[in-house]
Amino acid sequence: MTAENPVGKTGYTGNPGGRPKMPEELKRAFQSLAPEALKTLADVMANGKDSDRVKASEVILDRGYGKATQQIDANLEGSLQVINVGVPAFVKQ
């Protein structure tokens, strides 16, 4: 760690400006393809191989309802243990 490169220094971020913004034109181009992408995912979900169907279903649910929350408990000995996996409310109904 040097004065010019204080990586590891408390309170310093290596990326102070954050992630660069996507140009609006590119964002609009991607968004214009979204309906066709959803149709493709729906077709794979209905007609693909089992593993592809599961992945397509996961992508659709994640985009529509958000990813399920996972709470973890960090053990001071260095291991991680999952103690709760959230389930979206619509699944509980």
Structure tokens at 55: 């992945």
Residue 62 domain-assigned (yes or no): yes
Q: Which residues pair with 85 in a beta bridge?
A: 70
Using an 8 Å Cβ cutoff, are 39 and 59 in contact? no
Buried b / exposed e along 48-79 (16+ C-beta atoms within 10 A): eeeeeeeebbeeeeeeeeeeeeeeeeeeeeee
* pLDDT tens series, the chain, 93 aa: 555 655 666 677 777 788 888 899 999 999 999 999 999 999 999 999 999 999 999 999 888 888 888 777 766 666 656 666 666 666 655
Residue 72 domain-assigned (yes or no): yes
Spatial distance between the Cα atoms of 61 and 83, rounded to a whole number of angstroms: 23
Q: What is the extent of the structural domain holding 29?
A: 24-88
Spatial distance between the Cα atoms of 46 and 83, rounded to a whole number of angstroms: 33
Residue 53 domain-assigned (yes or no): yes
Residue 5 domain-assigned (yes or no): no
Q: How many domains does the chain contain in total?
A: 1
Instruction: Spell out the residues 6+ positions from residue 86 whose beta carbon is closer than 8 angstroms to its own.
Output: 68, 69, 70, 71
